[in-house]
Amino acid sequence: MPPEQFVNQVRDALTYLYDPVHLQSHPLADQLNGLIETGQATRAQQLRRLLLETLEELSPPSDTEAKTSVQIHYSALQYRYIDGLTPEQIADTLAISLRQVYRKIREGIEAVASLLWDRLQAAQPVDSLLPSVDRRSLAQATVEQLNSNARPEVLEIRSVVNGVIKDLHSYCERIGAEVHLDLPPTPLYICVDRTMFRQALMNLLTSGLTAQSSSVVLLTLTQHDNQIRLTFAVRPTAPSGVGTSAAQNREGIGLEVAIQLFQLQGWQIIGRGEGERWEVALELPLAGPHYVLMIDDMPDMISLFQRFTTPFAIEVIGAKDADEATRALAQFTPTLILLDVMLPRTDGWEFLQTLKSNPATAQIPVIVCSILNEPALAVALGADDYLRKPVRQDALLQMLNRWLHLDLASAAETPSAPLKC
């Protein structure tokens, strides 16, 4: 069976977890026949028990912080398939976006399928396993599925790196290894799929951590012109030739998957070493900032919006009236325009018509930002959205996220100092 079909069967069985009629004849029960014991319980009951046991394996230790990625994956699956909550209810409960809910559920299902697949392989004689369904095939199918669902967005890379290091903390303690970070003090933005980038980081770091006994992995992030360079270098702390069981047992799949995930997102492999000089270096162009033209005759309002967006890849350029905005538009093309309507000389409604009738600016989204509560009028006159003053930072960021597709929540969580594993 193709691995992606196996993942789909697991997803379907979880969806109908409490439907005995559906589970009784479910094809997944046939696939997991070697793991289902014969007895008085029905096939549906045994398949449900096996799925619940496997799902429970994803539960993090009781001392794990409540907001780790592992905990969120487990909670999302539990709320969805055990408690029967809708994705919207899960988003409210976990205080994450609806898009994140769908992503966490998808990744959790893949993790459950992987655990079941490992157990199924362990229960079968080695010579009975077909080469077409080995771990590499399953890993390749997962990579292809991630790539097919890729949604590139602008991310603040330090925030993502720190999040992955935090998730690896307990694993580092268990194997006696460390990750040391050398990150720049200022934000750096890249355009990648968040899930694929996190998976690539996780796989590459765990490969490095077990490459040598009691390793220290130094992760360095630097900027060269318009390129960002990410370097992973192993510094073994034990004598040469001494290896951990984890290092001896690794198949190299994690490293292969990491390299492939990086390359699918446009990263260039610029250096790679093996053995005692284990090192991987990658480069990717930086994501340039989004330029937002804000037309408002109140300088304090423009300054406020500039402060609101300082941590993000957004540069707000102010214009106090239509004439100044016209001169600015002759010099650059913004990604978005924020337009007040109560302007001197040429009011905002009139300038909106000018913008939408000019082929050079007609396709730029215009958000009317006014003290007046006239969203219907604004849309009728050609505006793409409406933001009522006074504007809170969260309302502004939600609006910008809607039109610029940025990972604003991730950037907002960027810590002031790098974390160490």
Q: Are residues 212 and 241 both part of a single domain?
A: yes
Residue 357 placed within a domain: yes
Gap between the Cα atoms of 81 and 66, Å rounded: 20
Gap between the Cα atoms of 333 and 364, Å rounded: 8
Asked whether the beta carbons of 52 and 74 are under 8 A apart, the reply is no
Element (H, E) at 223: strand 215-224
Of 96, 203, 99, 187, whose CA–CA distance to 151 is shortest?
99
Q: Are residues 101 and 12 both part of a single domain?
A: yes
Judged against a pLDDT cut of 70, whether residue 293 lies above it is answered with yes
The string of pLDDT tens digits covering residues 342-381 is 999 999 999 999 999 999 899 999 999 999 888 999 999 9
Q: Which domain holds residue 106?
A: 3-148
Asked whether the beta carbons of 211 and 246 are under 8 A apart, the reply is no
Residue 418 placed within a domain: no
Residue 409 placed within a domain: no
Residue 220 placed within a domain: yes
Q: Are residues 202 and 298 both part of a single domain?
A: no
The whole-number pLDDT of residue 127 equals 46
Helices (H) and strands (E) counted in the chain, each on its own, are 19, 12
Q: Are residues 86 and 102 both part of a single domain?
A: yes
* Residue 274, domain CATH: 3.30.565.10
Q: Are residues 250 and 281 both part of a single domain?
A: yes
Number of Cβ atoms within 10 Å of the Cβ of 8: 15
Number of domains, the chain = 3
Average pLDDT over residues 30-57: 76
Q: Are residues 197 and 157 both part of a single domain?
A: yes
Q: Are residues 131 and 230 both part of a single domain?
A: no
Asked whether the beta carbons of 337 and 364 are under 8 A apart, the reply is yes
The whole-number pLDDT of residue 117 equals 80
Residue 415 placed within a domain: no
Asked whether the beta carbons of 289 and 265 are under 8 A apart, the reply is no
The string of pLDDT tens digits covering residues 169-228 is 888 888 888 899 999 988 788 888 888 999 999 988 888 887 765 578 899 999 887 889
Element (H, E) at 72: helix 69-77
Asked whether the beta carbons of 74 and 58 are under 8 A apart, the reply is yes
Of 255, 254, 284, whose CA–CA distance to 267 is shortest?
284
Displacement of CA 137 from its chain's centroid (Å): 24
Q: Are residues 298 and 319 both part of a single domain?
A: yes
Q: Are residues 48 and 73 both part of a single domain?
A: yes
Gap between the Cα atoms of 415 and 411, Å rounded: 9
Judged against a pLDDT cut of 90, whether residue 383 lies above it is answered with yes
Q: Distance between terminal CA atoms of the chain?
A: 39
Residues 6+ apart with CB under 8 A from 304: none
Residue 238, both tokens: 């034990």
Of 355, 370, 359, whose CA–CA distance to 322 is shortest?
355
- Least-confidence region, from 106-120, 242-256, 279-293: 242-256
**Residue 137 identity (one-letter amino acid):** S
The whole-number pLDDT of residue 125 equals 54
Average pLDDT over residues 241-254: 51
The string of pLDDT tens digits covering residues 324-340 is 999 999 988 898 999 99
Residue 404 placed within a domain: no
Q: DSSP character for 63?
A: T
| pLDDT band at 154; cut points 50, 70, 90 | confident
Q: Are residues 135 and 166 both part of a single domain?
A: no
The whole-number pLDDT of residue 241 equals 43
Q: Using the 3D structure, point to which of 249, 269, 287 is the last residue of a domain.
A: 287
Q: Using the 3D structure, point to which of 239, 261, 287 is the last residue of a domain.
A: 287
Average pLDDT over residues 267-289: 82
* Residue 309, domain CATH: 3.40.50.2300
Among all chains, which residue has been given the structure tokens 């702390």?
Answer: 237
Arithmetic mean of pLDDT over the chain: 81
Asked whether the beta carbons of 179 and 217 are under 8 A apart, the reply is yes
Judged against a pLDDT cut of 50, whether residue 417 lies above it is answered with no
**Sheet (strand 385-388) strand order:** 314-319, 290-295, 336-339, 366-370, 385-388
Q: Are residues 36 and 89 both part of a single domain?
A: yes
Average pLDDT over residues 74-88: 89
Residue 411 placed within a domain: no
| pLDDT band at 36; cut points 50, 70, 90 | low
The string of pLDDT tens digits covering residues 389-413 is 989 888 898 888 888 866 555 444 4
Overall pTM surpassing 0.75 (yes/no): no
Q: Using the 3D structure, point to which of 271, 287, 303 is the last residue of a domain.
A: 287
Q: Are residues 298 and 263 both part of a single domain?
A: no
The answer to whether the bond into 152 is cis (omega within 30° of 0) is no
Average pLDDT over residues 137-144: 82
The whole-number pLDDT of residue 311 equals 67
Facing residues of 305 across strands?
none
| pLDDT band at 128; cut points 50, 70, 90 | very low
Residue 198 placed within a domain: yes
SS3 (DSSP) at 259: helix
